[in-house]
């Protein structure tokens, strides 16, 4: 735009998307020209007013669909259509959908800021490279919030990765960090998961199997390892799922009722680790020298900085090549305010680029 403003098209008006809109309200620097959800995309060339944005956020919060939003705007079946009709400086993807093709298309016209892991982790490494290379061609491709949310762990890994990183290990799932702490205090798995689900914590996804399955965690490990230049594919990550096959098809309530069945097995793992003077933590580890990638329980010494991660913190130890000691990052690695702070950092970079 070149007048100190960023015109934004945003796909996703969920928890993070709504909070991001709220955070930009009142700023003369950020203007929304298009918003999309699973029902379609509404667009306004001259940008939505603050009042309109408040109305859209309220209606989405109440479970509304953009398709049904009443106002003066154009409607498109998908974001591609909106790209054709309105000028934009930044495309923000805050969905949990596979948006790889859309990001490639967006980068031809705008900078991209996203917290969505799928386009970076759930595609072959060769496609990932095409995406990040498209980002090098004069466009910002900001995916710093895809691991550790506002901690922007990918940024740190990219920077330290310049000199090589030998190993990464840590807990990149807030739920599994909370569960690991409680297990080492002697709580049964079923109780630890129930506590993580209950308000005011509400750390888990509505279905805690998403967290216990390790899939989202594995995606973060893939992204960080790829940033270290390793051609890792998701299938190369050995994931220890904490969901027995027989509990996979149950509704959430049934799953929670049956979860105590696996308490004894997990309790024994803890007992063995603790009696050897160790803790047992659910970790992701990328051995970048041996190219071995795992997500699951690992024993760590009681004094390991990983055990200092509290509640739903994320924690990561990085071992830069040739450094005397590892670098440890610990802090809140999920949540709306944290993630939106990280996304605003991306939008501010766009502002600097277009201003």
Ligand X SMILES: NC(=O)c1ccc[n+]([C@@H]2O[C@H](COP(=O)([O-])OP(=O)(O)OC[C@H]3O[C@@H](n4cnc5c(N)ncnc54)[C@H](OP(=O)(O)O)[C@@H]3O)[C@@H](O)[C@H]2O)c1
Give the residue with the Cβ less far from ligand X, 273 or 295: 295
Nearest to 116 by CA among 88, 158, 87, 154: 154
Residue choice 10, 24, 115, 169 for contact with ligand X (CB under 6 A): 115
Collect all residues with Cβ–Cβ distance below 8 Å to 185 and sequence separation of at least 6: none
Q: Is 14 in the site for ligand X (CB under 6 A)?
A: yes
Q: Is 332 in the site for ligand X (CB under 6 A)?
A: no
Give the residue with the Cβ less far from ligand X, 74 or 274: 74
Cβ of residue 336: shortest distance to ligand X, in angstroms? Answer: 6
Q: What are phi and psi of 334, to 5 degrees?
A: -160, 180
Binding mask 143-162 for ligand X (x = CB under 6 A): --x---x-------------
- Quick check: 170 and 315 in contact, CB under 8 A? yes
Nearest to 187 by CA among 299, 263, 269: 263
- Quick check: 262 and 150 in contact, CB under 8 A? no
Cα 112 from Cα 136, distance rounded (Å):
12
Cα 147 from Cα 223, distance rounded (Å):
8
Q: Which two tokens stand for residue 238?
A: 């050995």
Q: Is 204 in the site for ligand X (CB under 6 A)?
A: no
Cβ of residue 295: shortest distance to ligand X, in angstroms? Answer: 16
Which helix (H) or strand (E) segment holds residue 222: the answer is: helix 215-227
Decide the pairing of beta strands 278-287 and 237-239: unpaired
Cα 173 from Cα 314, distance rounded (Å):
6
Residue choice 37, 52, 298, 313 for contact with ligand X (CB under 6 A): 37
Helices (H) and strands (E) in the chain, counts: 14, 13
Q: Is 313 in the site for ligand X (CB under 6 A)?
A: no
Give the residue with the Cβ less far from ligand X, 36 or 208: 36
Nearest to 108 by CA among 135, 78, 74, 86: 135
Cβ of residue 32: shortest distance to ligand X, in angstroms? Answer: 14
Q: Which two tokens stand for residue 30?
A: 């950020």
Residue choice 5, 15, 55, 239 for contact with ligand X (CB under 6 A): 15
Comparing every residue's Cβ against ligand X, the nearest one is: 14
Cβ of residue 176: shortest distance to ligand X, in angstroms? Answer: 14
Cβ of residue 225: shortest distance to ligand X, in angstroms? Answer: 18
Residue choice 335, 340, 350, 351 for contact with ligand X (CB under 6 A): 335
Cα 121 from Cα 109, distance rounded (Å):
23
Size of the site for ligand X (CB under 6 A): 23
Q: Is 127 in the site for ligand X (CB under 6 A)?
A: no
Q: Is 213 in the site for ligand X (CB under 6 A)?
A: no
Give the residue with the Cβ less far from ligand X, 37 or 211: 37
Using CB under 6 A, which residues numbered 85 to 104 contact ligand X? 94-97
Give the residue with the Cβ less far from ligand X, 24 or 339: 339
Q: Is 284 in the site for ligand X (CB under 6 A)?
A: no
Using CB under 6 A, which residues numbered 238 to 267 contact ligand X? none
Collect all residues with Cβ–Cβ distance below 8 Å to 84 and sequence separation of at least 6: none
Q: Which residues contribute to the site for ligand X (CB under 6 A)?
A: 11-17, 36-39, 94-97, 115-117, 145, 149, 334-335, 339
């Amino acid at each position: 735009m070149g007048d100190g403003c960023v015109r934004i098209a945003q796909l996703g008006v969920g928890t993070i998307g709504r909070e991001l809109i709220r955070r930009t309200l009142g700023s003369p620097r950020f203007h929304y020209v298009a918003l999309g959800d699973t029902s379609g995309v509404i667009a306004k060339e001259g940008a939505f007013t603050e009042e309109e944005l408040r109305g859209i956020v309220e209606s989405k919060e109440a479970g509304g669909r953009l398709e049904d939003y009443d106002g003066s705007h154009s409607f498109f079946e998908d974001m591609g259509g909106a790209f054709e009709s309105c000028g934009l400086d930044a495309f923000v993807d805050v969905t949990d959908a596979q948006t790889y093709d859309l990001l490639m298309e967006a980068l031809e016209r705008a900078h991209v800021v996203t917290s969505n892991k799928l386009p970076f982790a759930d595609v072959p490494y060769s496609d990932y490279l095409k995406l990040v290379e498209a980002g090098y061609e004069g466009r910002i491709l900001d995916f710093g919030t895809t691991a550790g949310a506002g901690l922007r762990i990918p940024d740190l890994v990219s920077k330290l990765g310049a000199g090589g990183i030998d190993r990464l290990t840590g807990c990149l799932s807030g739920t599994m960090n909370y569960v690991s702490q409680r297990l080492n205090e002697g709580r049964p798995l079923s109780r630890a998961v129930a506590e993580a689900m209950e308000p005011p914590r509400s750390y888990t996804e509505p279905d805690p199997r998403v967290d216990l399955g390790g899939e989202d965690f594995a995606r973060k490990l893939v992204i960080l390892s790829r940033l270290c230049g390793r051609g890792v594919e998701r299938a190369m990550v050995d994931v220890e799922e904490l969901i027995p096959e027989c509990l996979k098809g149950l509704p959430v309530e049934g799953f929670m009722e049956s979860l105590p069945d696996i308490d004894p097995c997990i309790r024994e793992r803890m007992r063995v680790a603790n009696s050897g003077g160790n803790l047992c933590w659910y970790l992701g580890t990328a051995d970048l020298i041996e190219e071995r990638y795992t997500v699951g329980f690992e024993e760590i010494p009681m004094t390991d900085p990983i055990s200092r991660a509290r509640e739903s913190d994320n924690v990561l130890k990085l071992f830069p090549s040739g450094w005397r000691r590892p670098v440890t990052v610990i802090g809140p690695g999920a949540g709306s305010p944290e993630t939106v702070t990280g996304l605003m950092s991306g939008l501010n970079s766009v502002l600097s680029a277009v201003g």
